[in-house]
Amino acid sequence: MNRVIVDTSAYSAFMRGHDEVTATLREAESIVLNPVILGELHAGFLRGAHRRKNEGELDRFLASARVLVVGIDEETAERYAVIVDSLRSAGTPIPTNDVWIAASAMQHGLGVLTTDEHFTRVRQVAVLHHPVVP
């Protein structure tokens, strides 16, 4: 997968040096985030002991020529509805923010890079699942 949207869990794993996530990002042609991911990251930074350091690392990450932040618009909302309906029908809901991330992936033809298994329930997107082993 050459174009990926980086879930918050995968970004955190990358920052901790997770080998598989790091390798996937190195090979990616483009790396995408959306406002939901940025919001989750900033919320985490506010609660952490290293806020300024984490914000600086995110700023450097976002400055890469391969990194793009896509917006959420009416088309994303339509994709969100399709995914929510599919998950409800299957009886396999996932967290709302992750549905928005999956909707962005669906809209832009991206794979979801994540350490969270629940993304594999979203049939509308390709998922690169790299679990974190304790």
Region 3-32: mean pLDDT is 96
Region 27-53: mean pLDDT is 96
Confidence of residue 27 (pLDDT cuts 50, 70, 90): very high
State residue 49's pLDDT score: 92
| 17 φ/ψ sector (left φ>0, alpha ψ -120 to 50, else beta) | left
Query: Quick check: 61 pLDDT over 90?
Result: yes
pTM: 0.94
DSSP string, 98-111: HHHHHHHHHHHT-E
User: What are the tens digits of pLDDT across the range 31-43?
Assistant: 999 999 999 999 9
- The mean predicted confidence, pLDDT, of the chain is 96
Task: Select 3-129's CATH number: 3.40.190.10, 1.10.1740.10, 2.60.120.10, 3.40.50.1010.
Answer: 3.40.50.1010
User: What are the tens digits of pLDDT across the range 83-111?
Assistant: 999 999 999 999 999 999 999 999 999 99
Q: Where are the domains of the chain?
A: 3-129
